Amino acid sequence: METVFRLPAGAAAGQEPARSQLLHLARLLQPCAAELDAAFLRRLGGYGVLEQKALLALTPAAAGRVLSSRGSFTDFLEQVEYNGRRLAKLNLAPVEILRVLRTYDRLVARRRPGAWAAYQTIREPFHLAVTLALGNAFYQVREAETQAFYGLFHAELQARGLDDLLQRFVAILTRTFRARAGRLWIYPPNGGGLDRHLLRRLARPRYLTAGRHETLLLDPGLRGRFASYWSIPLLSRGRLAGLVQFGFATPYRWLPRELQLLDAVADRCLLAAEKARLHEQLVVREAQVRRLAGNMVRIEEEERRRISRELHDDTGQSMLTLRLQLEMLEKTASGAMRQRLGEARQLVESTIAEVRRIISRLSPAVLDQLGLPAAVRQLAQRLRSSCPVQLRLRVETPPQRLPREIETVAYRLVQEAFQNIARHACASRVNLSLRSTDKHLELRIRDNGVGFEIGSGAGKPNSFGLAGMRERVALCGGDLRIVSRPGRGTLVSITLPLTLSSRRIATHEQDSSASRG
């Protein structure tokens, strides 16, 4: 948003100096205009050439010259705004500029009394118009700086990674400095493989002109296209950490305020780039951890199957053979020995039943043979047998089998949820809904048990049930939602997808030319 200062609509015509009065003043000042300008410049000895040139363009004599060349007072005010912007970038505030311009008024009063009398009739509206134009110019510059920093901050929030961040940054900076093109590089700690001599030459701000030192332009696409260039280093602890280069349609050296803004922007760019780089590294590390966790889950399931097979093929068969031997001995024995062999046989039979239960929990054969719906019904039957609950099932899945990984994850989630209900919920009613669409498997388990506080339940140091459920769902790219309150029961809602799933440079080109100021 631009802050604009204008004369009120009614005052513009009533208070603006009359053209005839300004032309009359210009004719009175013309014989001594050069003398007045020279005397004025002597009093500006503490300012540089750029400041002196801009201040000379704000005087009554400058207004007279604009009108004498068939310009209007509006043209003069545009000249005031243009030079006011330059003075703002030279770090001269409007108050200081107006104080300096009063020096010119005193020179006119002392050297040309006749002109001073004519000037008195228009002095008030003239100064008011110049003051407003300078204020407008000053706040345009400050507003542009504010917008630049706001844009950089907004880019940090909106950027999708480091490359996108740099693209946004260079677009904002190119627009802020009204360049025709811009390039922004961020280097790794070793300088990105650039020649050390070149790095030393680029480690300070450089103003480049067409055909001279264009070899310092890192992007060959910039060379020969523009009249002048800026090369501004981005330094971190005295080391070249990046570079920004702009191309301008006309020769244009930066002004002090612009260089200060670039220094501040450089710090912002480096901090934001480092933050984005660390975020990208974190995302990569998280992806690696996810892959490792997924691999661990697969290894866990394979190990469950291996142990299940060994228990079934070796331990189970051995226990059956032992039971058969004990049964045969029991038939031939008599008295106390027959009773003891019978007790041993019963112990072996209970052990066989326990081994079968362990095998079923480790790797349920019904899941591999009949699929998820049958396995879920088996889990439901076990829940009914372990605790007195009224369990309602609603299973809607396609006739074809779901992906094995999805079936395994869904089975483990139902298994964990039923275990939590049996151990902690004290529920009397449980509803389970399992349905699949073309792209997702949806699982909902609701109970009317005691419930719990989500934060405290997930934060217990030795509680891994909820964490394990979240991890399994996250590894599949699914979504887990748990709703619970003490005394209000618990809802577990799960959605699983059926399909498992050196230096940087940013550039920007301005298509349209912009006036400099």
Judge if 141 and 206 occupy the same domain.
no
CB 504 within 8 A of CB 407: no
- pLDDT tens digits, residue range 188-226? 655 556 677 887 888 889 999 887 778 888 888 888 889
How many whole angstroms separate alpha carbon 408 and alpha carbon 405?
5
Q: Are residues 195 and 137 in the same domain?
A: no
Q: Give, in order, the Cα–Cα distances in Å from 267 to each of 166, 186, 219, 255, 488.
A: 14, 12, 23, 19, 53
Q: What is the 3-state secondary structure (H, E, C) of 28-79?
A: HHHHHHHHHHHHHHHCCCCCCHHHHHHHHCCCHHHHHHHHHCCCCHHHHHHH
Q: Which of 265, 263, 258 is nearest to 91 (CA)?
A: 258
Verify that 464 and 375 share a domain, yes or no.
yes
Same domain, 134 and 217: no
Residue 356 lies in a domain: no
Chain-centroid distance, C-alpha 44 = 48
If asked whether residues 131 and 13 sit together in one domain, one would say yes
The residue from 145, 178, 210 where one domain ends is 145
Give the integer Cα–Cα distance in Å for 67 and 26: 8
Question: What is the rounded distance in angstroms from the CA atom of residue 78 to the CA atom of residue 346?
Answer: 106
Q: Is the pLDDT of residue 84 over 80?
A: yes
Burial letters for 277-309: b for 16+ Cβ neighbours within 10 Å, e otherwise?
beeeeeeeeeeeeeeeebeebeeebeebeeebe
CATH number at residue 452: 3.30.565.10
User: Which residue type does 333 have?
Assistant: A
Give the single-character DSSP code of 450.
Answer: -
Query: In percent, how much of the chain has pLDDT > 70?
Result: 86
Cα–Cα–Cα angle for 121, 123, 125, rounded to 5 degrees: 100
Q: In what order do the strands lie in the sheet with 390-396?
A: 390-396, 429-436, 440-447, 490-497, 479-484
| Of the candidates 98, 105, 61, 57, the residue with the CA atom closest to the CA atom of residue 78 | 57
**292-305 pLDDT, tens digit each:** 766 776 777 778 77
Q: Is 327 helix (H, G, I), strand (E, B) or coil?
A: helix
Token pair 């802050």: residue: 3
Q: Is 157 left (phi over 0), alpha (psi -120 to 50) or beta?
A: alpha
Tell me: do 14 and 140 sit in the same domain: yes
* Percent of residues, the chain, with pLDDT higher than 90: 11
Model confidence band, residue 10 (pLDDT cutoffs 50, 70, 90): very low
Of 227, 254, 281, the position where a domain reaches its end is: 254
CATH of the domain at 210: 3.30.450.40
Residue 447 included in any domain: yes
Residue 322 within any structural domain of the chain: no
Query: 487 and 405, same structural domain?
Result: yes
For residue 510, the model assigns a pLDDT of 57
Number of domain units in the chain: 3
Domain limits for position 114: 9-145
One domain for residues 14 and 141: yes
**CB of 474 closer than 8 Å to CB of 154:** no
* Continuous segment of H or E residues that includes residue 510: none
Same domain, 176 and 132: no
Instruction: Verify that 25 and 118 share a domain, yes or no.
Output: yes
Q: Note whether residue 352 is domain-resident.
A: no
Q: Are 414 and 379 in contact (CB under 8 A)?
A: yes
Same domain, 141 and 164: no
133 and 204: one domain? no
The answer, yes or no, to whether residue 159 has pLDDT greater than 60, is yes
Residue 52 lies in a domain: yes
Q: How confident is the model at residue 230 (pLDDT cuts 50, 70, 90)?
A: very high
Phi, psi at 155, each rounded to 5°: -65, -40
Closest by CA position to 155, among listed 188, 190, 184, 121:
184
Q: Confirm whether 245 is domain-assigned.
A: yes
How far is 141 from 405, CA to CA, in rounded Å?
61
At 236-273, the pLDDT tens digits run 777 788 888 999 999 988 888 888 888 888 888 888 87
Where do we find the tokens 């920093």? 149
Q: Confirm whether 454 is domain-assigned.
A: yes
Distance CA 333, CA 347 (A): 18
Least confident among 17-31, 119-133, 232-246, 364-378: 17-31
> Average pLDDT for residues 446-465, to the nearest whole number?
68
Q: Which residues pair with 508 in a beta bridge?
A: 182
Residue 300 lies in a domain: no
* pLDDT tens-digit readout, 103-128: 888 887 777 777 677 677 777 788 88
147/153 Cα distance (integer angstroms): 10
Laid out side by side, the sheet with 239-248 consists of 206-209, 228-236, 239-248, 181-186, 504-509
Both tokens assigned to 466: 């909820």
What pLDDT score was predicted for residue 289?
Answer: 73
Determine whether 237 is exposed, middle or buried from the number of CB atoms within 10 Å of its CB (0-12, 13-18, 19+).
exposed
- For strand 429-436 and strand 390-396, is the pairing parallel, antiparallel, or unpaired? parallel
Task: Tell me which residue has tokens 């992007």.
Answer: 219
Which of 238, 254, 270 finishes a domain? 254
Predicted confidence at residue 55, as pLDDT, reads 92
